[in-house]
């Protein structure tokens, strides 16, 4: 045998022995924790036992194993948190111990580009969070409304062009949500689905969803493989390809803006302010700054677009719900003279209920929201040790029949039976009693999503306008006679960590010629006038310079 082969054989034997010893030690330690461990091979962990649909399996475990359960993926331990009470205690009240992120290894740091979303809880994270909060806190979130109303008007007007024929749902919602956040971040609109940035951002989010799914890379399970020489890390090429796509887009936008700043032609926007003041103040380099701005765009566009498409999917599948939403909007708006606006936001409780029910029935993350413990956490009789992942199991919590009878039925009216119909932006913490029946899509604790207020406002205005103008109907068979079933099963959604519907077909049929004409008039007026956001004039192309 060659010396090289013997070296690899020896190293592999040492590694295997260490893995076995580590697994035995871990099982002994966790037996004392008081937390059930329903799955897991003594040596190789639980990944192979989750089956072809791990998200659904984790949900089932959350509904049958009590408030907590523990599983092991490779060398890493995960505690899933399956009740609201446990979420409040572990993520809110003990947030000092549960606000970090895990020591992502191998491919994940390459793919992440230093994203704040997976950064450990430390001084640098708090600095970046402060910067994001400047644009996304509740008072500033209201300033997005002119942009959101403008983009919603274009979206509904664009759908009118289909003439009631079948439309593939995906890109319209993506264009709208991307344009809202890009206008504020970089001062430019996305006027058309043909804008290349739509497809580039969509591809980046697809990459990130795949890369952050449990076990996406071998180093998620065997982190010691990180120590191999770079040329032996066969998974690295795929991770680098993901990173290159992100770096090209986010640095490209940042450098383009920098050039405009030097030329004196830059639009007033968040990234310009950040570039001129915050980067030096907080000691942030250009790459970090570009990726922070990119994180804003990702978070502001992807989740809103997915939620809107899920809402359309479920409304098409539930005509009685759509009828109730339409009746409410028509009663409040009062006929065909105008479409809904943000002036109606406090008078449309059923639209808010639809938003809550969409978030409940299809949480935007299929595998839960993971934090990392930096000290031992005590919950009732259970002890969660430092150095493990703790995961909010939204699918299990949202589908608990004790809280939501018929949990897989789309029933927005369930929220009208309590005070929690109001926008969750009114209740920013998962610990608020009024949110007991609402959703946990935005997470909990110190890492709760800062963009929740912006996201729910976007959903409100576009849903209100859609149900005012259109009957949303399923696609028809080849003969054009019979409606086809609308697939709201797991088969109707893409694989990956994020909940994204596969492209689907529906028909947007105007409810009356008068309403269709009124919407065309509103869009023509919007194009002529533009809008003002935070004292800055915006036209069809974006922020007006000069």
At 498 the three-state DSSP class reads strand
Contact 178/198 with Cβ under 8 angstroms?
yes
DSSP state of 544: P
Entry field: residues in the chain: 546
* Ordered DSSP codes for 462-493: HHHHHHHHEEEEE-B-TTSSSBPPP--SGGGB
Distance CA 132, CA 76 (A): 30
Contact 129/492 with Cβ under 8 angstroms?
no
Residue 449 known to bind ligand? yes
Q: How many other CB atoms sit within 10 Å of the CB of residue 248?
A: 12
Angle at the Cα of 544 from the Cα atoms of 339 and 536, rounded to 5 degrees: 65
Instruction: Walk across the sheet containing 76-81 and list its strands.
Output: 68-73, 76-81, 389-392, 369-372
Instruction: Walk across the sheet containing 536-539 and list its strands.
Output: 531-533, 536-539, 542-543
Of the CA atoms within 13 Å of residue 111, those in its CB half-sphere come to 25
**Annotated binding-site positions:** 449
**Annotated binding-site positions for heme:** 449
């Amino acid at each position: 045998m060659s010396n090289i082969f013997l070296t690899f054989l020896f190293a592999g034997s040492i590694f295997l022995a260490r893995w076995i010893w580590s697994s035995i030690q871990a099982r002994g330690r966790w037996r004392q924790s008081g937390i059930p461990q329903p799955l897991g091979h003594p040596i190789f962990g639980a990944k192979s036992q989750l089956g072809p649909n791990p998200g659904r399996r984790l949900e089932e475990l959350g509904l049958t194993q009590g408030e907590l359960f523990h599983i092991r993926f490779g060398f890493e331990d995960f505690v899933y948190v399956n009740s609201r009470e446990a979420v409040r205690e572990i993520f809110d009240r003990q947030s000092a111990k549960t606000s970090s992120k895990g020591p992502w290894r191998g491919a994940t740091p390459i793919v992440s580009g230093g994203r704040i979303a997976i950064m450990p809880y430390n001084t640098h994270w708090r600095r970046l969070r402060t910067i994001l909060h400047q644009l996304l806190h509740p008072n500033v979130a209201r300033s997005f409304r002119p942009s959101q109303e403008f983009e919603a008007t274009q979206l509904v007007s664009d759908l009118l062009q289909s003439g009631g024929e079948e439309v593939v749902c995906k890109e319209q919602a993506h264009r709208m949500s991307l344009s809202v956040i890009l206008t504020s971040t970089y001062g430019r609109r996305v006027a058309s689905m043909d804008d290349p940035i739509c497809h580039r951002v969509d591809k980046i989010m697809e990459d990130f969803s795949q890369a952050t799914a449990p076990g996406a890379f071998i180093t998620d399970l065997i982190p010691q493989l990180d120590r191999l020489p770079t040329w032996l890390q066969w998974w690295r090429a795929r991770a680098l390809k993901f990173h290159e796509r992100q770096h090209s887009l986010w640095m490209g936008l940042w450098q383009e803006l920098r050039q405009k700043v030097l030329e004196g032609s830059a639009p007033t926007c968040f990234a310009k302010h950040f570039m001129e003041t915050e980067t030096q103040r907080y000691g942030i380099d250009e790459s970090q700054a570009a990726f922070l701005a990119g994180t804003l765009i990702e978070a502001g566009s992807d989740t809103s677009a997915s939620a809107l498409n899920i809402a359309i999917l479920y409304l098409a599948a539930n005509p009685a719900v759509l009828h109730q939403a339409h009746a409410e909007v028509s009663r409040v708006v009062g006929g065909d003279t105008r479409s809904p606006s943000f002036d109606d936001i406090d008078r449309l409780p059923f639209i808010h209920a639809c938003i809550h029910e969409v978030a409940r029935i299809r949480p935007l993350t299929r595998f839960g929201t993971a934090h990392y413990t930096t000290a031992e956490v005590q919950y009732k009789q259970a002890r969660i040790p430092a150095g493990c992942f703790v995961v909010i199991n939204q699918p299990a919590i949202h589908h608990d029949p004790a809280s939501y009878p018929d949990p897989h039925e789309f029933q927005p009216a369930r929220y009208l039976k309590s005070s929690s119909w109001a926008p969750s932006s009114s209740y920013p913490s998962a610990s608020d009693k009024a949110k007991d029946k609402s959703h946990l899509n935005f997470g909990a604790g110190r890492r709760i999503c800062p963009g929740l207020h912006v996201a729910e406002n976007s959903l409100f205005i576009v849903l209100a306008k859609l149900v005012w103008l259109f009957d949303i109907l399923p696609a028809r068979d080849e003969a054009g006679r019979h409606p086809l079933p609308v697939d709201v099963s797991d088969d109707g959604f893409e694989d990956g960590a994020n909940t994204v519907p596969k492209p689907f077909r529906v028909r947007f049929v105007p409810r009356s010629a008068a309403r269709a004409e009124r919407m065309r008039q509103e869009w023509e007026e919007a194009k002529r006038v533009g809008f003002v956001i935070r004292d800055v004039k915006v036209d069809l192309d974006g922020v007006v310079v000069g």
